[in-house]
Amino acid sequence: MDLNDQMQGSRREWWRHAVTYQIYVRSFADADGDGIGDLPGITARLEHVRDLGVDAIWLNPFYPSPQHDHGYDVADYCDIDPLFGTLADADAMVERAHELGLKVIIDLVPNHTSNEHPWFQAALAAGPGSPERDRYLFRDSPGGPPNNWKSVFGGPAWTQVEAGPGEEGQWYLHLFDSTQPDLNWRNPEVGDMFVDVLRFWLDRGVDGFRVDVAHGLFKAEDLRDQIVVPGHERMSGASAGESMVERTDVDEPMWDQPEVHEVYRRWHEVLAKYDGDRMMVAEAWTQSPESMARYIRPDEFSQAFNFAWLLAPWSAEDFTRVITGTFEAVDQVGATPTWVLSNHDVDRHPSRYGGGARGLARARAATLTMLALPGSAYLYQGEELGLEQVEVEPEFRSDPLWFRTGNPGRDGCRVPMPWSGSAPPFGFGPTGGQPWIPQPAEWSELTVAAQAADPASTLAFYRAALAARRTFSETAGEGIELVEAGTDVVCFRRGPITVALNCGTEPVALPPGEVLIASGPVGEKLPPDTAAWLG
């Protein structure tokens, strides 16, 4: 099939319009009382997700792992960490999700393994020049690291291993923590192993994969130094949170190499042999919408996270620019866009927008705007409760970013969910047991149970917004038309609905029509920090 034929093909795959709810496994629900969330906990709480009105769940990694980066350091790709349960628990979770009409997306981590993966242990044992070392990026480099690359988590991207008698220890590359050695994707064994992993989980019935660091995998073959222009650095790769800035002028021999696309063409074919529109979504922090679009050509990924939306500051001009840029990029390749405001790597969006009542008002407004846009949207557990970033005490921090840089890191968006009750653990696990990160006492007012009983709550708002989206999205079409409404207002029409978001400081006129749903109180005018759908 050529590009045009494929673009004409079915555009009704479920994932094109889905809302997916991200579950951070260790922080969702704890069935066995060890203070860490697990798969049986998730299974028992899936009705909450169904009642929210989403279409799918994405689970962060649950594989056996020493947990140095909470599961993004995988020691075995085809099993479950005993912390989270068993393969039978995973099967039960998938079955229950499907019974409730929810698709299941799991996380795949192909850029690196754990240093406890049998391949890395074999590489250490086998020594320099061995086929075992060739599955990773080991180099001789007497006197210092082989190049100037930095780890995304801070510090050098190389660690030297112990030397055998009479040798200098070799260095291995790790773009993340030293416990996460990068694989050598130029070795065909690596690619073959991941195809087996895909099939293992597809055979167990999962509907898709979120692919971690999808723009990693291949590095410039000569591993040359990165040219660093002072003031133009970019914390790219992932996980950089608010320090991530969109740039198109940075030399990146470690990311986004052309060879990576061959991998995704192969995976696309593997998925296409299965029934039910299995999908894969790329986590690719590339430098521009154009480079992001290369990952979603018709024979590669189904979709890619659109981080430009999450990175946009609170400004109508910036939001509008991202909307326009996104459509231009995805249209080039016949793909549909995605939208996301929060995930496990960034500060929660109410906090990014200033926190408190204003941060929450803005967060609800940005969410309502996002849910009106064509394409699919990703929500992160707890945003339906309006949770803010938590300042986690240093003794409870476990993010490698914190250990390597002293930056507070990402633990503050990973605090366990408050479900019910007036004191921690708020129903996260059995009473008495405390979660792995303490929950703030004020969360007693934000539990699912408390908000379910309050029609003015953020939870009630999310349920209403998702129900409204369902009602209109079938007929709303895949295009939008921007409407001029002044410099402080994002305004567009999609099918029968007009959407307006006021990012300014003064109330503005509402577009014509009846208010169908709003993110906060609306009178004659649209107040600041508020969005509305009119029809």
Q: Is 167 a catalytic residue?
A: no
Are the C-beta atoms of residues 460 and 454 closer than 8 Å to each other? yes
Minimum separation from the CB atom of position 240 to ligand BGC (A): 10
Is residue 425 reached through a cis peptide bond, with omega within 30 degrees of 0 on the bond before it?
yes
Tell whether residue 72 is a contact of ligand BGC (CB under 6 A): yes
Beta-strand runs (E) in 55-170: 56-59, 103-108, 138-139, 158-160
> How far apart are CB 69 and ligand BGC at their closest, in Å?
5
81 in Cβ contact with 130 (< 8 Å)? no
Q: What residues are paired with 19 via a beta bridge?
A: 377
Which of 24, 172, 176, 201 is close enough to bind ligand BGC by CB under 6 A? 176
Q: Which is nearer to ligand BGC, 38 or 345 (CB)?
A: 345
- Between residues 41 and 181, which has the closer beta carbon with respect to ligand BGC? 181
Instruction: Tell me how far, at minimum, the Cβ of 45 lies from ligand BGC, in Å.
Output: 22
> What is the amino acid identity at position 416?
P
Distance CA 259, CA 248 (A): 20
**CB hemisphere CA count around 253 (13 angstroms):** 13
Is residue 238 close enough to count as binding ligand BGC by CB under 6 A? yes
The verdict on 239 binding ligand BGC (CB under 6 A) reads yes
The region that residue 33 occupies, defined by phi over 0 for left and psi between -120 and 50 for alpha, beta otherwise, is: left
Q: Specify the residue, 295 or 462, whose C-beta has the smaller distance to ligand BGC.
A: 295
User: Is 77 or 492 the residue whose CB approaches ligand BGC more closely?
Assistant: 77
CB of 239 to ligand BGC, least distance (A): 4
182 binds ligand BGC (CB under 6 A): no
Shortest spacing between CB 111 and ligand BGC, in angstroms: 7
Count the site residues for ligand BGC by CB under 6 A: 11
Q: Let me know how many helices (H) and strands (E) the chain has, helices first.
A: 14, 18
Tell me: does residue 255 bind ligand BGC (CB under 6 A): no
Q: Give the residue among 511, 498, 503 at the shortest CA–CA distance from 527.
A: 503
Residue 306's alpha-carbon distances to 249, 282, 375, 447, in angstroms, are: 19, 9, 11, 29
Which x/- pattern, by CB under 6 A, does the window 422-451 give for ligand BGC? Answer: ------------------------------
Per the CB < 8 A criterion, the answer to whether 39 and 28 are in contact is no
192's tokens:
């073959």
Residue of 283, 383, 388, 399 marked active site? 283
Which member of 81, 182, 283, 384 binds ligand BGC (CB under 6 A)? 283
- Identity of the residue, 53 or 237, whose beta carbon is nearer to ligand BGC in the bound complex: 237
Of 42 and 213, nearer to ligand BGC (C-beta) is 213
Minimum distance of ligand BGC from residue 112's CB (angstroms): 7
Residues 80-139 that bind ligand BGC (CB under 6 A): 109
Q: Is 300 among the residues that bind ligand BGC (CB under 6 A)?
A: no
Tokens describing residue 1 = 């099939």
CB of 413 to ligand BGC, least distance (A): 11
Residue 36 or 510 having the CB closest to ligand BGC: 36
Is residue 30 annotated as a catalytic residue, yes or no? no
**Which residue among 38, 81, 132, 212 contacts ligand BGC (CB under 6 A)?**
212
Residues 73, 89, 182, 212: which is the catalytic one? Answer: 212
Binding letters toward ligand BGC, positions 326-365, x by CB under 6 A? ------------------xx--------------------
41-70 positions binding ligand BGC, by CB under 6 A: 69
Residue closer to ligand BGC (CB basis): 319 or 402: 402
339, 369, 352, 371: which is closest to 470 by C-alpha?
371
Give the separation between CA 13 and CA 19, rounded to whole angstroms: 13
**Which of 23, 97, 104, 213 is the binder for ligand BGC (CB under 6 A)?**
213
Compute the least distance from the CB of residue 376 to ligand BGC, in Å. 18
| Residue 180 or 447 with smaller CB distance to ligand BGC | 180
CA-nearest of 234, 86, 72 to 150 is: 234
How far is the C-alpha of 265 from the C-alpha of 309, rounded, in Å? Answer: 27
Q: Do 56 and 167 form a contact (C-beta atoms < 8 A)?
A: no
Nearest alpha-carbon partner for 493 in 472, 464, 508, 507: 472
Long-range contacts of 451-460, Cβ-Cβ distance < 8 Å, separation of 24 or more: 451/385, 458/360, 458/364, 458/384, 458/385, 458/386, 459/384, 459/385
What does the binding site for ligand BGC look like in residue numbers (CB under 6 A)? 69, 72, 109, 176, 212-213, 238-239, 283, 344-345
List active site positions: 212, 283
